[in-house]
């Protein structure tokens, strides 16, 4: 069964745009779980323009499903936060400082030595590790040598080309997922997945353990309500 982890960054963005505590990020995390989310994802960035480091610390004790923290481990502050909070999963994303949103995965071949070292730090603390990768067989296979538990397939290319040729759009992802699965790696996915393309993606990716969805889901919630939207996305994953 593919799990749905709801990324609540955009709720924090709305809060920060006005100051104060409305909407309340902690309550949003609690409610997403209550409405059926299988996990909560946050991606704190150094400038704290959406999720703040204090939010992460506040949220963790209230998570009854699964807590996934995304970020760039080259930032010492991020590593220290993860080791302090000890989430169920950390997803390593090679974001540049000030980057608007994630736009590429790790080169697991060139950066194998660094990734092995950082993955081992988290795994020693019992934290499951996932590495953000592009849908390239060689990179998916090389991720195994870093010691990671899972890869997260970066799905922007799929989402961009889904409307014009969905069969072509999914091909590299299916191939990369099969290669990673053959190595014993778990498969996660995220970025620009939405209620229109999610079912097709999930139906064509073998052993898909988890999808992390934020922007599209929160945008849909403005029209359909948060509880209903989470249920809609779970139906795309055949989990209802």
Q: Residue 42: give the domain boundaries.
A: 3-236
| pLDDT tens, residue by residue, 91-149 | 999 976 555 555 678 999 999 999 999 999 999 999 999 999 999 999 999 999 999 99
Please state the domain count of the chain. Answer: 1
Say what the pLDDT of residue 104 is: 72
pTM of the predicted protein model: 0.94
Please check whether residue 41 is in contact with residue 212, taking contact to mean a CB–CB distance below 8 angstroms.
yes
Q: How far apart are CA 106 and CA 91, in angstroms?
A: 11
Of the residues 43, 66, 141, 210, only one is catalytic, namely: 43
84 is catalytic: no
The answer, yes or no, to whether residue 169 has pLDDT greater than 70, is yes
- How confident is the model at residue 89, as a pLDDT? 98
Q: pLDDT tens-digit profile of 6-19?
A: 999 999 999 999 99
CATH number at residue 9: 3.20.20.70
Which of 115, 99, 120, 2 is CA-nearest to residue 43? 99
| Backbone torsion region of residue 191, taken as left when φ is above 0, otherwise alpha when ψ lies between -120 and 50, otherwise beta | left
- Which three-class secondary structure string do you get for 97-150? CCCCCCCCCCCCCCCHHHHHHHHHHHHCCCCEEEEEECCCHHHHHHHHHHCCCE
CB 155 within 8 A of CB 173: yes
- Clarify whether 191 is annotated catalytic: yes
* pLDDT over 60 at 80, yes or no: yes
Calculate mean pLDDT across residues 155-176. 97
Radius of gyration of the chain (CA): 17
**Which residue among 50, 141, 152, 191 is the active-site one?**
191
Q: Which is catalytic among the residues 66, 70, 141, 152?
A: 70
């Amino acid at each position: 069964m593919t799990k749905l982890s709801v990324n609540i960054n955009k709720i924090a963005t709305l809060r920060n745009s006005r100051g104060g505590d409305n909407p309340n990020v902690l309550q949003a995390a609690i409610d997403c779980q209550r409405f059926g989310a299988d996990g909560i994802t946050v991606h704190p960035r150094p400038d704290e323009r959406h999720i703040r480091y204090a939010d992460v610390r506040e949220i963790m004790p209230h998570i009854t499903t699964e807590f996934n923290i995304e970020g760039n481990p080259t930032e010492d502050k991020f590593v220290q936060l993860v080791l302090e909070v000890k989430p169920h999963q950390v997803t390593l994303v090679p974001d540049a400082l000030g980057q608007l949103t994630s736009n590429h995965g790790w080169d697991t071949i060139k950066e194998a030595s660094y990734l092995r070292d950082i993955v081992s730090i988290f795994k020693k603390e019992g934290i499951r590790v996932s590495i953000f990768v592009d849908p390239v067989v060689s990179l998916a296979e090389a991720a195994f040598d870093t010691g990671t538990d899972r890869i997260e397939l970066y799905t922007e290319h799929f989402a961009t080309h889904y409307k014009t040729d969905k069969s072509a759009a999914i091909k590299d992802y299916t191939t990369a997922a099969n290669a990673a699965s053959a190595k014993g790696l778990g498969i996660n996915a995220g970025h620009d997945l939405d209620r229109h393309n999610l079912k097709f993606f999930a139906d064509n990716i073998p052993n898909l353990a988890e999808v992390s969805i934020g922007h599209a889901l929160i945008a849909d919630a403005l029209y359909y309500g948060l509880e209903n939207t989470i249920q809609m996305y779970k139906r795309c994953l055949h989990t209802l």
